Structure 1
Amino acid sequence: MNRNAVRSDIRTALTDLLLTPGLDLTEAADRHFAPDYRQRTDGEWADRTEFLAHIAHLRTVVATGSVDVHDELTDGDRYADRHTMEIVKTDGSTVRIEVYVFAEYAPDGRFRRIEETTLMLEGTPADRNLGSAR
């Protein structure tokens, strides 16, 4: 990895993607995710285009929220964290999800790949697929 690269992290990426309404989705994604980005959430793979469709959908559902990082580790081009995402939906309901992330950085410090597993802490059964809904 380029030593001068500014590395993305989950809190900043999620804040830009979901919790900063005035920020253009493409601009937010370009800040944190490499062109060849792909993600696996609970066993389901998505390429960058599918990932952005997922985020675009979430932007219609999420009113506000927060990201609480409990554990975070970087080692070379590897990143791992455990965080809780609390979302207040546009219908006023609350969803809390604990997420375990293992990721790889591209040389420029953006995420190239994320593999994550989610654990629903609060929400309805319909909210269970929020991590991969499109």
Structure 2
Amino acid sequence: MQDSAIAVVRELFECALLRPELDENRLAKLVHPDYRQQADGRSLDYADFIKHLRHLKQTCSRVDLEILSWAEQGERVFTRHRVAADKRDGGRVSMLVIAEFRVQDGMVRACDELTHMLSGTTEDRDLGSRH
């Protein structure tokens, strides 16, 4: 039985954000090679997404994520989630994210998200898409 779309998105969050190391082999099973992401007006393809995650792992020592609400309709998942991170330089950043994921055949194919910085420095404003 194939996992629900929200289960795939939750697994992506776990793999991409919550684990201290980036498991690119596991990620390749969750994210389609043709992946496209729009994040605050920036476009990322699969390679850019991997660069973004590597950058997050280098910048942040710890990331917490809380799904505040979600809705699933077929292959589409909408989430409103809060991401808080401890930065390696001693800073802390917190973002509220509203995202639409498209999941097909057990893989995330696309994500369209808007982020709102709740706390952090001006330089952290683009942390949700920086790579």
Instruction: Work out the CA distance in 1 between the residues paired with 2:60 and 2:51.
Output: 14
When the two structures are aligned, how many residues end up with a matched partner?
128
Contact 2:86–2:93 under 8 Å retained in 1? yes
Q: CA RMSD in A?
A: 1.4
Question: Which residue matches 1:86?
Answer: 84
Whichever residue aligns with residue 12 of structure 1, its letter is E
User: Could you tell me how far 1:32 is from its partner in structure 2?
Assistant: 2.2
SS of the residue 2:97 aligns to: strand
Q: Which 4+ runs in 1 deviate beyond 2 A?
A: 21-24
Instruction: Work out the CA distance in 2 between the residues paired with 1:23 and 1:98.
Output: 22
Q: 1:78-127, CA deviations, whole angstroms, 9 ceiling, x for partnerless residues?
A: 11010000001111211000000012111x22210000000000000000
5+ long unaligned stretches in structure 2: none
Question: Which residue matches 1:114?
Answer: 111
Instruction: Work out the CA distance in 1 between the residues paired with 2:115 and 2:107.
Output: 22
Instruction: Work out the CA distance in 2 between the residues paired with 1:115 and 1:123.
Output: 23
- State the TM-score, normalized to the length of structure 1: 0.88
Q: 1:49-73, CA deviations, whole angstroms, 9 ceiling, x for partnerless residues?
A: 1111111111101101210101111
Residue number among 64, 67, 70 corresponding to 2:68 in the alignment: 70
Contact 2:22–2:54 under 8 Å retained in 1? no
Residue number among 99, 111, 130 corresponding to 2:127 in the alignment: 130
Q: How does 1:1-134 map to 2 (within 5 A)?
A: 4-6=1-3, 7=5, 8-9=8-9, 11-24=10-23, 26-106=24-104, 108-134=105-131
Instruction: Work out the CA distance in 2 between the residues paired with 1:5 and 1:87.
Output: 32
